[in-house]
Amino acid sequence: MSKRDYYDVLGVGRSASAEEIKKAYRKLAIKYHPDKNPGDKVAEDNFKEAAEAYEVLSNPEKKQRYDQYGHAGVGSSAAGGGYGGGMNMDDIFSQFGDIFGGHNPFESFFGGGGGGQRQGGRRVAKGSNLRIKVKLNLEEIAHGAEKKIKVNKQVPCKTCDGTGAKDRSSVSTCQTCGGAGQVRRVTNTILGQMQTTSTCPNCNGSGQQITSKCTACHGDGVVRGEETITINIPAGVSDGMQLSMSGKGNAAPNGGIPGDLIILIEELPHETLKREGNNVVYDLHLNFIDAALGVTAEVPTIDGRAKIKIDPGTQSGKLLRLKGKGLPEVNSYHRGDEIIHINIWTPKALSSEEKIILERLRESPNFKPQPGKNEKSFFDRMKEYFE
């Protein structure tokens, strides 16, 4: 059975914003949540399918690959190894702790919980994401690059190992929730008793209390610091693309889960080459004598310089192609081409001798324009090369 389109699963259009995608997923999560549909296998499958769709469409990098290649572009999630194919409910609740806040969807949807994830029923705080910009030239984009970036961020406190406590004896079980991280409340309604679960207000879901705070971090478990991070950027990225490094963002309070590092790609302009998708374009200027007689010309490429043959009688606007001399696609063996646009250079100033020579040639039949009926316009040629 083939997978459904992720946009169809969430009921949103392909131009939907991140917030619209999140709202659509929340709506389905509430509708098919296992607490609301106990023992309903169909609801469980729909719940998992929605989680799989959200996992891809909420990630800018995965969403971009999915928009370009469909299910084949998002790896294991598209091949049945995602939520619908192998992960259980606990995996989903752990992955989207900031959405659910536990197994009760109404807790985080309507203000009952904060960002974090569950471990053994307890809420574990998650650090905030960091965003940085990495500038790449065309050569680095073509071959991939390794960048070492110094990032100022929240790091675990070395004095208390990120616990926020003065020492091990300064941590005790929360008296309000008994270490569960959650408190349960039973309310009498016209339909009978209703039990709700919410994050413990005393320990914020951690299940523990600090009786004596660390003097270095004042009980937060994190301090400002600097970390040198090695970023391996794949070949073929483009301007505005976002990459994500899990766990490289800000450290979380009290030994929680670190946030992610979001890397925004900025493409630096090349001195002579212009990018058009995965192709690169170079403007080659020839004098009309070389264009008329033919010549061997040298042109720049991403990998160095290359020699090309210009046939006699080459017209201005002609496009030549160097196969495979463009940029690679991300996670693909396919590579674009280099397109060479021929421009015939007309001199603006002539000596007296040059004018005499050209005047002699002015009336020559071969110097009168004689365009063929089958010759394509410049726009037709460009359209043909980039379709």
pLDDT of residue 186 exceeding 70, the answer is yes
Is 256 labelled as part of a ligand binding site? no
Cα separation, 312 vs 314, whole angstroms: 6
Residues 6+ apart with CB under 8 A from 315: 291, 342, 344, 375
174 is in an annotated binding site: yes
SS3 content of the chain, % helix, strand, coil (to 5): 30, 30, 40
Alpha helices in the chain (DSSP H): 6-10, 18-32, 41-57, 60-69, 89-95, 97-100, 105-109, 138-143, 288-293, 352-362, 378-386
Flag whether 160 is marked binding. Answer: yes
The 3-state DSSP class for residue 52 equals helix
Question: Cβ contacts of residue 227 below 8 Å, gap of 6+?
Answer: 150, 151, 153, 155, 248
Beta-strand relationship, 130-136 and 261-267: parallel
Decide which of 65 and 10 is more confident.
10
Architecture of 273-384 per CATH? Sandwich (2.60)
Q: Give the end-to-end CA distance of the chain in Å, rounded to a whole number.
A: 33
- If you average pLDDT over residues 251-280, what whole number do you get? 91
User: 16 near 23, Cβ under 8 Å?
Assistant: no
Say yes or no: do domains 6-97 and 124-156+222-268 share a fold.
no
Q: Where are the domains of the chain?
A: 6-97, 124-156+222-268, 273-384
Report the DSSP beta bridge partners of residue 222: 156
Q: What number is the average pLDDT over the span 186-191?
A: 70
Neighbours of 310 (CB within 10 A): 19
C-alpha span between 205 and 118 (Å, rounded): 9
Q: Does residue 183 carry a pLDDT above 60? A: yes
CA separation for the pair 221, 205 (Å, rounded): 16
pTM attached to this predicted model: 0.58
- The answer to whether 93 is annotated as binding is no
* Average pLDDT rounded to a whole number, residues 219-238: 92
For 6-97, the fitting CATH number among 1.10.287.110, 3.20.20.20, 1.20.1250.20, 3.40.50.300 is 1.10.287.110
**Continuous segment of H or E residues that includes residue 264:** strand 261-267
Among the listed residues 266, 286, 386, 269, the one whose alpha carbon sits nearest the alpha carbon of residue 337: 386
The pLDDT tens digits of the residues spanning 280-335 come to 999 999 998 999 999 999 999 999 999 999 999 999 999 999 999 999 988 778 89
Q: And the tokens for 13?
A: 């259009």
What confidence tens digit (pLDDT) does each residue in 269-295 have?
999 999 999 999 999 999 989 999 999
55 marked among binding-site residues: no
User: Which amino acid, 48?
Assistant: K
Measured CA to CA, the distance from residue 238 to residue 275 in angstroms comes to 10
Tokens representing 209 are: 């209390």
pLDDT, tens digit (0-9, with 9 covering 90-100), for 127-140: 899 999 999 999 99
Which residues lie closer than 8 Å to 6 by C-beta, 6 or more apart?
Answer: 52, 53, 56, 57, 66
Integer CA distances (angstroms), 75 to 46, 82, 263, in order: 21, 9, 21
Q: Which tens digits make up the pLDDT trace of 112-122?
A: 333 455 554 45
Instruction: Write the Ramachandran bin of 204: left for phi over 0, alpha for psi from -120 to 50, otherwise beta.
Output: left
Within 189-338, where are the H helices?
A: 288-293
Query: Which secondary structure element, helix H or strand E, spans residue 339, and what is its range?
Result: strand 338-345
Q: Is 192 annotated as a binding residue?
A: no
Q: How confident is the model at residue 80 (pLDDT cuts 50, 70, 90)?
A: very low
Fold of 124-156+222-268: HSP40/DNAj peptide-binding domain (2.60.260)
In order of 70, 132, 239, 265, 371, the CA distances from 64 in angstroms are: 9, 19, 13, 14, 45
Q: How far is CA 316 from CA 286, 290, 292, 347, 377, in A?
A: 9, 12, 11, 14, 11
